[in-house]
Each structure stands twice: as C-alpha cells, then as structure tokens.
Amino acid sequence: MKFVLALDQGTTSSRTLLFDEGGRVVRSAQREFPQYYPEPGWVEHEPEEIWTSQRETLEEIVSETERGSIAGLGISNQRETTMLWDAETGEAVYNAIVWQDRRTAERCSQLKSDGREEEVTQRTGLRLDPYFSATKVEWILDHVDGARERAEAGKLCFGTVDSWLIWKLTGGAVHVTDASNASRTSLFNIHALAWDESLLEMFRVPRAILPKVVDSSGVVGEWRGIPIAGMAGDQQAALFGQACFDPGMAKSTYGTGCFLLMNTGAEAVRSKNGLLTTVGWRIGSEVNYALEGSVFVAGALFQWLRDELKIVASASELDAMAATVADSGGCVVVPAFAGLGAPHWDPYARGAVFGLTRGTSQAQLCRASLEAVALQCVELIECMERDAGMKLRELRVDGGASRSDLLMQIQSDFLQREVLRPSHVEATAFGAAALAGLATGVWHDREDFRNQWEIDRCFGPSDGDVAEIRTRWNRAVQRVSGWEEDSQ
C-alpha cells in the first residue's frame, strides 16, 4: 500500500492529510495560526507562523506512517496571499498580505481611472482588484525600507504560499509556483502561460523576484526523501479533486470564502458577467481553464456569529438554531466584511443586516446568514451559465460548511438544481494528493479518480417560491455598494 501526503494550507489553519490508494483519508493533523488586522480592511499572517503550523502537522503525520510507504507530497494553498523574503536567509521582509486584504483598493481605482483594467483582464482573466497579488507586491516594495532596491538586485523572492512552503521544504533550493497559482497574481499571461513584461512594468514588479512556473503535476524537489510532486491553488485543487474533468462541470467549495469553478476545457472563456478566467491546472502540454466566481465571506460569516456576536458556540449549533424557524422573517444579511467579490467587485462595500424588527430572533438571523451564503453562490452560477452558454446540470460541493444539510438544502432550493455532496468533502486536499499521485505512479490516469468519486447525498430543490427572498437580497446588495467610499 502506497500513500500520498497533502499539505492543505488555508487562511486560518494548516493541515496535513494522508490518503491511501483508494483516495481515503487515513489520518490528518491540523494547527490554527493567528490572524492580524493592523488597520481596518488590512489582513496579515506571519510567514513563519504559517510554516511552523504546516511543518508541525506534516511531521506529526509522517512520524505515524511507515517509513518508505509515502510515494509523494502535494500542496494546496490559500491563493493570492503574498510574501517576499530574503533569497539567502529566508527571512520575510514583511508579514504576508492575505487575499482578503483591501489596502490597495485606492491603487486599483487609480489604475482603472488610467484605463488599464481592460489590458489586465485581457492578459490575466482577472479584474483590477486588491484581491490579487500584484498590488500587494507593489505595496510591500514601496513601504518597506530598501525592499525595492533589494528586489531589483535579485536579493528577494516573491511567492504565494505554495512557493513559500516549497522553498522552506527544500531548504531554499527550489523557488517555483505552478500555473494555477501564477494565474492568480495579475502578473501572469494565461494565454502565453508566462510572466508578462507589460504587467510587470504596470505594477512595478522586478522580474528577478519571480518564481519559475512549473506544471501542477510533476516532481520539483523533495523533503526528507519524499518527492514534492503536485501543487495547485486550493480552488483549482478542489475542482480536480471533485473529478470535474469535463467542460461544463462545476464545484463550489464552502470555506472561509466560497468559490465556484466551472471547467471550460482548453478554452479560456472571457467572462462578460463579472467572473474571472483562470488556469485550472497545467499537466505537460495540456492546460485546463476555468470560470471562477469568488465570494469573500462564507464560513467567516459563521465564525463572526460565533466569535463576535456569540450567538452560537459552534457551526452545528448554528444549523440547529436556524432549523427551528421556517424562514428568516424578512431579515437579510449582506456579509461584505471585506467588500463584495464577483460579480460586483466592490472593495468599498461593507456588511449590513436589513429587515430587522422587534420580533427578529437569533434563529432568524442564523437562517438569514445561511441564506446569504447560498444567495451569493446563486449569483455566481447564473453568471457562469450566461458566460458558458449552458445550464448547469448539477453542482458538486465540498469544504467544511458543505457538511451542513440545511445549508445544502437551501442552496438547492435557491439554485433549483441538484446539489451533490461527495462521500468525503476533503476535495481540496485530495486534489493536491491526486496531482502528486499522478506524477509518482500511485494513480495511472484521471479515470481512477472519476471511478472513486461517490455521492454521499443528493439535495434536490423543493417547490417553494424564492422570488421574494431574491428580490430582498438584490435590494440589500445595492444599498451596501460603495458604502465606505461614500462615507469618506
């Protein structure tokens, strides 16, 4: 029996999972790490805390596994989160600026005013938004003393989290990223599949700091004799792990945020409805593209109810409380804590609750929060269907919040499509393991994964009328749009 490791480095925790040849989780370990909020709208991580938490989980799993039985290691990671470190010492020059961070909103607005967004979108498939890495790199280079000079001299390394982990795992010997992560930086031309000189000039990023772009499946180095053989951004890894190999297949991952991806095959479909075009994975000469919709706040909304409002003590308690009421009583939650993602792309929006009355209960607020996550996903799927020119037949789901039967039923009701939850919801980690397992011979081809994919439960839509809820939601979103910008 051969096993494959998956490092699943997320926004709030680092995990290591061990998969067997049947794609089953044999064991797992997890460590949470701190989040830092130096100013409103700023979100940071300490790079060494990311590495330490990830290393500890890896060492824990390896210590419990028979020596020589691990065939390879794959990495999935929070995307867009940006780090710069010294090319010799590995010391970070600044905290990691997290994908949720909005500090470069003004810079993005300036570039839009200069008429640069069309160029960015045409080359990268992305929008001009502080979500992506390019303006984060520029900010660090401009705000850390000496950083720009060191970068131009080739003395610094830039990377998203995958690059950082591989650099640390290999003792600084390997500085790479894969095509899926590169496509999230706003510096990578997704058609030429290369770093783009025009974009580097626009964002004032020296080429000398960039990692080499490699395939999503293939050996790039080793850690203690174990080949590092697969990597992909977490959402692309989940698309692969959900066996969405055919154009038109789609998945939704419910984590800190919520991310919908639809496979578009070899065609990089340009969205006309506010979505992103991204590289799904690159394996040899084959490149798979995807349409993506990004919801910035999903599970983070439930954490807010738990940690800040203290309405519930756990996600299961939130579900149970929300299930005690038939509806939200007209309450609408717009969780724009970090602005609105697709299809609105409004970094100035802020969260709000509408429709409160004296009779609004905690249970109704909990149900409205579940509805908010589902409604954001419906917006994205409708945009995808228009872009792709086809109706979605089913939606495959994964991530921690997909364990909620109530949320998945609400999702199916609002979407009016079947929602399929697989027997294991660790699609992101399994996608990373699968990419590594393909490169090391544990699995022969993608049909192995297609055959292993099993449904745990199918949620079918009910006959209830959701039009009124949709109307209230649309009106509420319009009211929060540009909130912070208007208040300045």
CA distance readout (Å), 145 to 29, 82, 141, 386, 449: 38, 18, 8, 47, 49
- Please tell me the distance from the alpha carbon of residue 370 to that of residue 301, in angstroms, as a whole number: 9
- Please tell me the distance from the alpha carbon of residue 376 to that of residue 374, in angstroms, as a whole number: 5
Q: pLDDT at residue 21 above 80?
A: yes
Q: H or E element: which one contains 418?
A: strand 418-422
Backbone angles phi, psi at 119, to 5 degrees: -65, -45
Contact by Cβ (8 Å): 221, 165: no
- Helix, strand, or coil (residue 114): coil
Instruction: Please write the tens of the pLDDT for every residue from 151-162.
Output: 999 999 999 999
Q: pLDDT at residue 425 above 80?
A: no
CB under 8 A, 24+ apart: contacts of 175-178: 175/87, 175/211, 175/212, 176/211, 176/212, 176/213, 176/214, 176/220, 177/211, 177/212, 177/213, 177/214, 177/231, 178/213, 178/214, 178/215, 178/216, 178/231, 178/232, 178/281, 178/282
pLDDT at 388: 85
pLDDT at 487: 52
Whose tokens are 């039009």? That residue is 467
Q: Which two tokens stand for residue 131?
A: 């979500």
pLDDT at 484: 59
pLDDT at 342: 85
Helices (H) and strands (E) in the chain, counts: 17, 23
Provide mean pLDDT across the span 432-451: 90
- Please tell me the distance from the alpha carbon of residue 92 to that of residue 86, in angstroms, as a whole number: 6
Name the residue with higher pLDDT: 296 or 175.
Answer: 175
Residue 125 identity (one-letter amino acid): G
pLDDT at 451: 80
Percent pLDDT > 70 in the chain is 99
Percent pLDDT > 90 in the chain is 75
Provide mean pLDDT across the span 221-234: 95
- Please tell me the distance from the alpha carbon of residue 362 to that of residue 43, in angstroms, as a whole number: 29
Name the residue with higher pLDDT: 412 or 345.
Answer: 412
Residue 54 binned pLDDT confidence (cut-offs 50, 70, 90): very high
Provide mean pLDDT across the span 440-458: 87
Instruction: Please write the tens of the pLDDT for every residue from 176-189.
Output: 999 999 999 999 99
Domain ranges of the chain: 3-234
CATH number of 3-234: 3.30.420.40
Residue 200 binned pLDDT confidence (cut-offs 50, 70, 90): very high
How many degrees, rounded to 5, is the angle at CA 118 between CA 342 and CA 233?
50
- Please tell me the distance from the alpha carbon of residue 158 to that of residue 164, in angstroms, as a whole number: 8
pLDDT at 486: 54
- Please tell me the distance from the alpha carbon of residue 436 to that of residue 388, in angstroms, as a whole number: 30
pLDDT at 485: 56
pLDDT at 468: 87
Mean pLDDT score of the chain: 92
